[in-house]
Structure 1
Amino acid sequence: MLYALSIGMGRDPLNATELDFVFEKNPLKTIPTMASVVARVPLLMNCGFDYTKVLHAEQHLRLHQPLPAEWEI
């Protein structure tokens, strides 16, 4: 829910589609881009790269089914 709020979901309280990501009384949904944000940081922390010299040029993410909101990372 915090990720959804941080990227602007729920700004329009009349938009039922956005409320599915930020309102607890509905079954919460996850935003597909969350998978790329969450996975990137822990995997790359100790790789020995100087991240001040790295340019992130492109990234792809293919999901074959929705991400369950109840999963733990």
Structure 2
Amino acid sequence: MSAESPDNLVHVYTEKGITTVTLNHPEKRNSLSLSMLKVLSSVFSDLETNPDCRVVVVAAAGHVFCAGHDLKELK
């Protein structure tokens, strides 16, 4: 199974019971914007009831895993 969020912020790929969730906004250092958090919440809710998913690996595109919350959204 393979899926992407509508705005491509997150890629989800499942093979042999292992699901890889990849943060995909490297130009923003994969920061946790409100839209990224919403997508991740939805993805993890779906995976919770997915019998094909036994393990979740969180990865990130680019050189930075995650810069934390997108502080520009707090202004």
TM-score relative to the length of structure 1: 0.27
More helix by share: 1
Would you tell me which structure has more strand in proportion to its own residues?
Answer: 2
Which of structures 1 and 2 has the larger relative contact order (alpha carbons within 8 angstroms, sep 6+)? 2
Whichever of the two has the greater Rg, that structure is 1
With normalisation by structure 2, the TM-score equals: 0.27
